Amino acid sequence: MSNKREQTRLLLLETVLSLLMAPEGSPMRMIDVARAAGVTRQTVYDHFTNRTDMLIAAILHFGDTLEVDARLAPSRAAPDGRSRLAAYTTAMLEFFPAIYPLKQALERLGPADEEARAAWDDRIRAMKEGCAAAVAALRADGDLLVHLSEERAADLYFTLLNMDGWAHCVLENGWSAADYLAEMQRVIALALVRS
């Protein structure tokens, strides 16, 4: 990709995020992005095949600014399932303060906005894959509770790592991030790990 093309794509991604995160919300059609970025609508279509593609790319770009791979490295390199579970839990809960405003912004677009829902679902799938990988490591070590299948354990883990639960405790009720992390580590271990 040429330098000018990369710069234009970066401008478009930053414009999408700026429109999304505006407190009052902004229209999010491709023409709106073009106008806000000061480019033609064709320029937007040269970079993104459709609105869903554009939103997914913007969310991935947002993740890049959070250094997702670096933050997940301790989980991926963990020597055993218990360590991987604890490291993944820590990484996810450290992401939530940055990710939650994006979740709210996408929700403001409305439940009927299929493209916004598809973009968010793409990221949720990635989170579920991380949950499944941590559970698979637990199972491989023989440390997963015997009554749980990997699939059920991954579903349970994902449910416990609920962003709205985090927002309820930390944002709405004043828990410290450290206290919430400690409680979630304890609850998740009780729910999934053999003693």
For the segment 124-145, what is each residue's pLDDT rounded down to a tens digit?
898 999 999 999 999 999 999 9
Mean pLDDT, rounded, for 97-114: 83
- CATH class of the 1-63 domain in this structure: mainly alpha
Q: Does residue 144 sit in helix, strand or coil?
A: strand
Q: Does residue 193 sit in helix, strand or coil?
A: strand
Query: How confident is residue 118, by pLDDT bands cut at 50, 70 and 90?
Result: confident
- Sketch the domain layout of the chain as residue ranges: 1-63, 67-192
Half-sphere exposure of 110 (CA within 13 A, CB side): 5
- Report pLDDT for 106: 80
Fold adopted by 67-192: Tetracycline Repressor; domain 2 (1.10.357)
Q: Count H helices, E strands: the chain? A: 10, 0
- Report pLDDT for 101: 87
- Report pLDDT for 35: 93
- pLDDT, one tens digit per residue, over 24-49 is 766 678 999 999 999 999 999 999 99
In the predicted model, what is the mean pLDDT of the chain?
91
Q: Does residue 38 come out as left (phi exceeding 0), alpha (psi in the -120 to 50 range) or beta? A: left
Half-sphere exposure of 179 (CA within 13 A, CB side): 7
Fold agreement (1-63, 67-192)? yes
